[in-house]
Amino acid sequence: MKPLRGMRVLDLSRILAGPLAAMWMADLGAEVIKVERPGSGDETRRWGPPFVGGESAYFLSVNRGKRGIVLDLACPADRRVLDRLVRESDVLVHNFLPETAAKLGLGYERLRGLNARLIYTSVTGFPPGPYRDEPGFDALIQALGGLMAITGEGDRPVKVGVAIVDVLAAWAALAGTLGALLVRERTGEGSEVEATLAECSASALANVSQAFLLTGEVPARLGTAHPHIVPYQAFPTADGLLMVAVGTDAQFQTLCQALGRPEIASDPRFATNPDRVRNREVLVEILTEVFGARSRAEWTTRLKEAGIPAGRVNTLADLFDDPGLVGRLLVEVDHPTVGKYTSVGCPLPGAWPPSPLPPPRLGEHTDEVLRRLGVRG
């Protein structure tokens, strides 16, 4: 049985992090009701192209599994409807700025008064402090939050190609919500959960941040390479890039044997990983010449047979054509205007199979949901 079966999630969030967390809750079995503004709805409905069947790919990507209603939160009658929904929900997800939530009457203390068992999950840009009421945007947080300091090459910072901080915040919001639901099972009380983009970005630095905090040394941007392990990067072969991930000294010796260059492993400059990190440029230059002499397919076969982690740098077409990589994630969705299409589900074990309910058209389920809940505007 799915872990959130029988629970109701009220999704007041927009854009990416909140909607993605709520969609994963739907995959985990919850009934999710997405609340949007009349007339315009979630901003991502207009983010494109591509648009298919009048729907943006962006909106479709994070709103599957939900029923959609429209409420005008500035209208007293609609606010009373929302209050009724809060009373009958297990989780509320939103990404309003803290001051905006307070002005709308959506602060935690007020909603807790309506439903003491409510898990109140918010996604914000910044933790309490000087930036608290500033909006958070993924690209901005990638810059402020340290990710662009270590992503790219040399003096050319780049952002990750997907809104990775939003995705990290979605995971944090989901994990926090699941933990709060577990606490509620023990205590009977709801609680407040907050995921901030800035803290998620900083925490994602992991070993890189720890190295800096211990030594004060500013890390270099290394492209596909690893700051603490060598060789651990993509190498150009005769016909494409090959990612090689050598994590131990024994693996390095095996790599050199598979490359037909055992003498590299016996070079004292490369005897241990710290030696290889110190002599990174020399070793990478040698290995680049070796890898360039043969095709990617040939090297992949050789290295895999030797037990060395290696593989091509895939395109998205390569990825989604390989069931060994995407596993059980893919779900077929039948949308009334888009038609049948493939979407991506939550990778947690309890989320399989993902919800096939198509993302809602704006206000599509308003009458159905309010009638079923006995709510009238």
| Residue 166: active-site member | yes
What's the rounded Cα separation, in Å, for the pair 205 and 210?
8
Please, what is the end-to-end C-alpha distance for the chain in angstroms? 35
Cα distances (Å, whole numbers) of residue 96 to 62, 104, 168, 277: 18, 10, 18, 45
DSSP helix/strand/coil, 297: helix
Contact residues for 252 (Cβ-Cβ < 8 A; gap 6+): 231, 246, 265, 270, 273, 276
| Residue type present at position 177 | T
Radius of gyration of the chain (CA): 25
Nearest to 121 by CA among 5, 17, 270: 17
The 10 Å Cβ neighbour count of residue 296 is: 20
Instruction: Judge contact between 244 and 303, C-beta under 8 A.
Output: yes
Instruction: Judge contact between 142 and 159, C-beta under 8 A.
Output: yes
Catalytic-labelled residue, pool 11, 166, 249, 318:
166
DSSP helix/strand/coil, 358: coil
Instruction: Judge contact between 13 and 52, C-beta under 8 A.
Output: no
Indicate which residues carry an active-site annotation: 166
